Amino acid sequence: MSIIKRLITLISLFVILLTGCDFTPKLTCEKTDIKHQNKRVIDFINLHSKEDGVFLLENKDTYYLYINNVISYQSNKIPVVSDVKVESNDDELRIFYNEDYNDYKREGIESSVLYKISLNKKYDSMYVYKNGKKTYFNSIDVE
């Protein structure tokens, strides 16, 4: 009888632990190092490295957002991307970022950035917003 009680207690604890854990994927966006990517992402970056714009690589439940400003200099200034975030509303994914111009001679200013977006579900439509205004993707590559 004590083995049955132990087994019931063990199963009950297991069920409590499983119901307390959240296995739902989260929608996240994080900056990632351009140099430390797999071959497919590196090929995608190299394909768009000589043109300015907003580029998206779709890969199952992960997207890579590549914003490249290698050409867009205004006198002594370079566009700098900040405040990248993602939001969802039903079946719509929205990507937001800000862009300002900074002195290109300052150390640590990057003209190109890469963000990894981990999806929590499949979306029917995607939109990108620059400085709060809807803009467009220059290219969406599907893997």
pLDDT for 92-135, tens place per residue? 999 999 998 876 655 666 778 999 999 999 999 999 999 999 99
Give the bridge partners for 112, in sequence order. 68
Those residues whose C-beta lies under 8 Å from the C-beta of residue 120, and which sit 6 or more positions away, are 24, 25, 26, 27, 88
pLDDT higher than 70, residue 138: yes
pTM: 0.79
CB 78 within 8 A of CB 102: yes
Q: What are phi and psi of 22, to 5 degrees?
A: -100, 110
**For residues 18-45, average pLDDT:** 84
In the chain, where are the structural domains located? 25-142
Residue 71's pLDDT is what?
Answer: 72
12-21, 53-62, 119-128: least confidently modelled range: 12-21
